[in-house]
């Protein structure tokens, strides 16, 4: 068995859909794919993309990203849509809760970004007026912190495990997983990128590898004993002059053996 990772599929772009469709239908039948969020906002597109990938892999794991929770004319709020997507995943055999495999427990962790993630906030930052989530995500009025709400959904799974753990989320768990602000094209990105409290959950389950997405900046780095990986498919324009593998091999029992 091999375990592969990807994120930020954005299959509303035809080029991205075709890249996923072009993955072999036979080579991965004994393997696992982890999708760390951001397929798109359209429910039918989410379903079609997950079904496409589910047919190619033995196990498919997934958490929604921010794009999935955009409300574009639907008559409900983003949490309604979130739970609709989770229910959809149950019907098409896509894992959104922990599952124990032969060598690992794979743990999906729901998350959202928090302003505190930006540990060196600069008053001269780019404005966030154009950040799409602020327009397209609609939250219930009784929830004070969206980040805390999603972290609370993980709480029942935050415990020690007897097997090695691979965890994954859409959002970033550590500020080190973004470049320094001087190298960021969008200087305010740290304010809408991740959650420092998410990393506490990752360490509480003693994760060996953590997969994440959202920033479209690929990483493979070990920090304080945990290997953090992003392998974002990204937008087609972001792949120009940059090699971005559709899926990344993160573990193989042959390599381990």
Phi then psi for residue 244, to 5 deg, are -125, 100
pLDDT for 129: 79
Q: How far apart are CA 33 and CA 135, in angstroms?
A: 31
Phi-psi region for residue 249, left (φ > 0), alpha (ψ -120 to 50) or beta? Answer: beta
Q: Is 252 helix (H, G, I), strand (E, B) or coil?
A: strand
Among 92, 86, 195, residue whose Cα is nearest residue 151: 195
Tokens of 36: 């760390």
**Is residue 165 within a helix (H) or strand (E), and if so which, with residue range?**
strand 164-168
The string of DSSP codes covering 61-93 is EE---TGGG--SS-SS-HHHHHHHHHHHHHHTT
Tokens of 146: 């969206």
Contact 105, 163 (CB under 8 A): yes
pLDDT for 78: 96
The series of mean pLDDT values per 10 residues for the chain, 257 residues long, is 97 96 97 98 97 98 98 86 97 98 96 90 68 94 95 97 97 95 86 96 98 97 98 92 85 72
pLDDT for 186: 84
> Considering the entire predicted model, what is its pTM?
0.95
The string of DSSP codes covering 148-193 is HHHHHHHGGG-S--SSEEEEE-SSBS-GGGS--GGG-SSTTGGGGT
pLDDT for 127: 72
pLDDT for 239: 87
Contact 10, 67 (CB under 8 A): yes
Give residue 120's domain range: 2-256
pLDDT for 256: 58
Domain count, the chain: 1
pLDDT for 3: 97
pLDDT for 125: 61
Phi then psi for residue 208, to 5 deg, are -90, -40
Looking up residue 66, the CATH number of its domain turns out to be 3.60.21.10
Tokens of 77: 């709020």
pLDDT for 182: 84
Length of the chain: 257
Among 241, 248, 67, residue whose Cα is nearest residue 171: 67
The DSSP 8-state label assigned to residue 124 in this structure reads T
């Amino acid at each position: 068995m091999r375990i592969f990772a990807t994120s930020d599929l954005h299959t509303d772009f035809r080029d991205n859909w075709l890249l996923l469709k072009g993955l072999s239908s036979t080579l991965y039948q004994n393997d696992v794919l982890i999708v760390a969020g951001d397929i798109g906002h359209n429910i039918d597109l989410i379903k079609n993309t997950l079904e496409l990938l589910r047919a190619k892999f033995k196990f498919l794991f997934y958490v929604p990203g921010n794009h999935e929770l955009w409300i574009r004319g639907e008559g409900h709020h983003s949490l309604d849509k979130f739970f609709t997507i989770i229910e959809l995943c149950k019907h098409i055999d896509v894992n959104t809760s922990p599952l124990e495999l032969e060598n690992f427990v794979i743990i999906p962790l729901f998350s959202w970004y928090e302003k505190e993630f930006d540990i060196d906030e600069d008053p001269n930052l780019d404005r966030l007026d154009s950040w799409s989530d602020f327009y397209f995500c609609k939250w219930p009025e009784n929830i004070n912190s969206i980040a805390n709400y999603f972290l609370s959904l993980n709480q029942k799974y935050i415990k020690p495990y007897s097997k090695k753990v691979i965890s994954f989320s859409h959002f970033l768990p550590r500020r080190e997983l973004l470049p320094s602000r001087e190298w960021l094209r969008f200087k305010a990105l740290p304010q809408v990128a991740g959650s420092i409290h998410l990393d506490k959950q990752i360490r509480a389950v003693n994760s060996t590898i953590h997969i994440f997405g959202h920033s479209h900046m690929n990483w493979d780095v070990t920090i304080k004993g945990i290997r953090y990986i992003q392998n974002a498919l990204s937008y087609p324009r972001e792949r120009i002059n940059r090699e971005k593998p559709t899926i990344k091999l993160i573990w193989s029992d042959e390599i381990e053996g």
